[in-house]
Amino acid sequence: MRRIITRGIAAVGAVALLALGTACSNEREGATGAGSTDAKGFAAGSLVGVALPSKTSENWVLAGDLFTDGLKAAGFRADVQYAGASTTVADQQSQISAMVTKGAKVIVVGATDASQLATQVAQAKQAGATVIAYDRLLTNTPDVDYYIAFDNFKVGRLQGQALLDGMKARKPKGPWTIELFSGSPDDNNSKVFFDGAMSVLKPFIDKGDIVVGSGQKDIKQTAVQGWKAENAQQRMDSLLTSTYSGTKQLDGVLSPNDTLARAILTSVKGAGKQVPVVTGQDSEAESVKSIMAGEQYSTIDKDTRKLVAETIRMVTSLQKGDKPRINDTTSYDNGSRVVPAYLLPPVIVTRQNAAAAYANDPKLSALTK
Ligand code: BGC
């Protein structure tokens, strides 16, 4: 049962995994990893590199700040870099190489393009550093030691279920007409989110209870390059023109994250259409406001504070020469090896549970009052 990047066969296995609740069940210290440094540790105060993608959503902005402060507080020197807005791949490649040259003992990578960093992480491993994939998996390279993320397949399942629940609440009986959007094709998460959502929606599509109005169901058709709001808005604009002229109703839109959800809502409102059920992810402030105002239907809470804290905890274990804690050794085959992972549980948020879901987040909690 592996959550494979080319995961045509993985859906069934992943569903079984979820049923077993493996996200947190086989948690243990000391499972196998390929880290060359974790047997002996390294000097306190060493350099830790953090290479993040461009700031395509608020979680990345927050992660950078939290890494800078948190690594320092844990006694490390931190080098936190973002890929630029346009030459993202080349930026990230040279940032990682520079971290290696500066002697970083651990390099944490939120990949801008999952498959384009093999040379750089190979250099890192050769220099004796440990490589941790953060939030997004690095693909087709043996040179990634650990993966830390929210359970991406579960994120997708929660999105699919929320779409269904939201449409049922508004119109108890189908058929419901929807459109599907997915994230950037260079981000390994995009397909995992989409597959998770489709594992819930496809049975309804197959029965005819859900109809994809445009017929565009293939991830190649639904993808939003670069996770860019303008690309999602443009696609929604053209779907509205091609498929929803006149009074034809659109009941729901599967959106993989909040930035794209708001772009889709802008498009629909601009066309004077009734607002459909639109999903999201990330708990961005503007989307939480939109949910409370009854526009966007749902988001996902993936608390960046927890993800960064878990990563820093892993770095600290490596520094001490301990094996880091992982809780998943089967789900993430990156095409080259199954990467030992620590997966955190995502939480679905709608207007109904927002106050409770954000109770321990003062910024978001204030938006629910
Ligand atoms: C992250 C999402 C985010 C998206 C765009 C994904 O890899 O998991 O949380 O919305 O990138 O930045």
Band of pLDDT at residue 39, cut at 50, 70 and 90: low
pLDDT score at 248: 93
**71 pLDDT above the threshold of 60:** yes
In the three-class reduction of DSSP (H, G, I as helix; E, B as strand; rest coil), residue 130 is classed as strand
pLDDT score at 40: 84
Residue nearest to atom 8 of ligand 1 (CA): 135
Q: What is the pLDDT of residues 282-318, one digit of tens each?
A: 999 999 999 999 999 999 999 999 999 999 999 999 9
| Residue 246 falls in which region: left (phi positive, over 0), alpha (psi -120 to 50) or beta | left
pLDDT score at 209: 98
Q: Please, what is the average pLDDT of the chain?
A: 91
CA of residue 190 to ligand 1 center, whole Å: 8
Across 26-40, 97-111, 238-252, least confident range: 26-40
Q: Is 57 in the pocket of ligand 1 (CB under 6 A)?
A: yes
Q: Is 187 in the pocket of ligand 1 (CB under 6 A)?
A: yes
Lateral strand order in the sheet of 252-254? 210-212, 176-180, 252-254, 277-278
Angle ∠(342,347,349) on CA atoms, nearest 5: 155
Residues pairing with 298 in the sheet: 350
pLDDT score at 20: 36
CB 357, CB 301: distance < 8 Å = yes
Ordered structural domains, the chain, with CATH:
9-151+304-345 (3.40.50.2300), 152-301 (3.40.50.2300)
d(CA 324, CA 63): 20
**3 pLDDT above the threshold of 50:** no
Q: Report CA-CA distances (Å) from 122 to 61, 96, 118, 119, 237.
A: 27, 11, 6, 5, 43
**29 pLDDT above the threshold of 90:** no
CB 275, CB 261: distance < 8 Å = no
d(CA 111, CA 184): 12
Q: What is the pLDDT of residues 220-270, one digit of tens each?
A: 999 999 999 999 999 999 999 999 998 999 999 999 999 999 999 999 999
Band of pLDDT at residue 85, cut at 50, 70 and 90: confident
Closest atom of ligand 1 to 227 CA is 5
Closest atom of ligand 1 to 110 CA is 7
Band of pLDDT at residue 88, cut at 50, 70 and 90: confident
Residue nearest to atom 10 of ligand 1 (CA): 257
Q: Is 281 in the pocket of ligand 1 (CB under 6 A)?
A: yes
How much is the average pLDDT of 162-167? Answer: 98
Q: What is the pLDDT of residues 324-355, one digit of tens each?
A: 999 999 999 999 999 999 999 999 999 999 99
Q: Is 189 in the pocket of ligand 1 (CB under 6 A)?
A: yes
Q: What percent of the chain has pLDDT over 90?
A: 87
Band of pLDDT at residue 46, cut at 50, 70 and 90: very high
Residue of 52, 54, 56, 57 best suited for mutating to test ligand 1, as the one with most atoms within 8 Å of CB:
57
Burial 158-190 (b: 16+ CB within 10 A, else e): bbbbbbbebbeeeeeebebbbbbbbbbbbbbbb
d(CA 79, CA 35): 20
pLDDT score at 26: 38
pLDDT score at 87: 79
CA of residue 197 to ligand 1 center, whole Å: 15
| Residue 37 falls in which region: left (phi positive, over 0), alpha (psi -120 to 50) or beta | alpha
